[in-house]
């Protein structure tokens, strides 16, 4: 067993056993971050102060899982994908409402309520994606979200900023959200659909459709060689590293 494998086994054991301040401090020690348990107990996150966080507050364990997700990017070990990608998957399996196999999240990905996120198999989030999950977000199998893309599930009244509305977003299987896109509340991106770079999606996207622009509009059907979706090869790395090849 090598050094990384040993660290991953230790973090997984602590995360799966149910995090408290002491165990979270132990995980942070493994990441090279020294934060005493008593200090961690006093941590309050951005989401704690939002209306949704008051209506549906984090459990203690959820708060510590969020802290660990954020903390890994503050540690030099985040540079080592051999550790950081499986580590984020460990957190997701415990924190998310659902997390399938082969989940990949690159550094800089952020969300506010992990327990309102559902992720299928072989889902990938690339660098610096943001997911506002207050209203709930679902990712189907093999769906992808690429760099600097954003999903929002809530909005504000123009006449009173404190009045909020919520609507879920769903990214269906084999859909691709390209760089710097924005998906607005209530949108469903259909099966095997593509959202082109820089698009702002205000309405749901049909299956197998490519949309582009501001606001996004359908341009054409996705180019496919066969009806077999597995031939789209939605694998992120060479040899399907970190994912489950089916």
Beta bridge partners of 183: 151, 201
- The pLDDT assigned to 227 comes to 87
CB atoms within 10 A of CB 26: 15
pTM of model > 0.85:
yes
77, two tokens: 């070990």
DSSP 234: -
Can you read off the two tokens belonging to residue 7? 């660290």
C-beta of residue 212 within 8 angstroms of C-beta of residue 100: no
Domains located in the chain, CATH noted: 1-94 (no CATH), 96-224 (2.160.10.10)
> Hey, what are 142's tokens?
């093999």
pLDDT digits (tens), the chain, 246 positions: 798 999 999 999 999 999 999 999 999 999 999 999 999 999 999 999 999 999 999 999 999 999 999 999 989 999 999 999 999 999 999 999 999 999 999 999 999 999 999 999 999 999 999 999 999 999 999 999 999 999 999 999 999 999 999 999 999 999 999 999 999 999 999 999 999 999 999 999 999 999 999 999 999 999 998 889 999 999 999 999 999 987
- Distance (Å, whole) CA 57 – CA 19: 17
């Amino acid at each position: 067993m090598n050094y990384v494998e040993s660290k991953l086994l230790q973090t997984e054991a602590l995360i799966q056993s149910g995090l408290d301040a002491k165990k979270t401090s132990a995980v942070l020690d493994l990441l090279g971050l020294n934060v005493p348990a008593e200090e961690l107990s006093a941590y309050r996150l951005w989401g704690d102060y939002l209306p949704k966080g008051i209506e549906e507050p984090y459990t203690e364990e959820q708060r510590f899982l969020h802290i660990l997700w954020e903390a890994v990017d503050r540690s030099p070990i985040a540079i080592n994908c051999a550790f950081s990608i499986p580590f984020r998957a460990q957190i997701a399996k415990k924190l998310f409402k659902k997390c399938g196999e082969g989940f990949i999240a690159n550094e800089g990905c952020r969300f506010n309520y992990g327990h309102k996120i559902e992720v299928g198999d072989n889902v990938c989030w690339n660098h610096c994606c943001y997911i506002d999950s207050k209203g709930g977000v679902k990712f189907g199998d093999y769906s992808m979200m690429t760099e600097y893309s954003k999903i929002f599930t809530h909005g504000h009244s123009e006449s009173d900023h404190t009045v909020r509305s919520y609507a879920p977003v769903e990214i269906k299987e084999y859909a691709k959200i390209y760089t710097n896109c924005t998906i607005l509340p209530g949108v469903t991106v259909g099966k095997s659909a593509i959202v082109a770079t820089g698009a702002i999606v205000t309405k749901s996207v049909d299956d197998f459709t490519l949309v582009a622009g501001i606001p996004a509009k359908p341009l054409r059907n996705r180019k496919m060689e066969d009806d077999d979706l597995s031939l789209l090869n939605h694998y992120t790395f060479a040899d399907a590293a970190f994912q489950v090849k089916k």
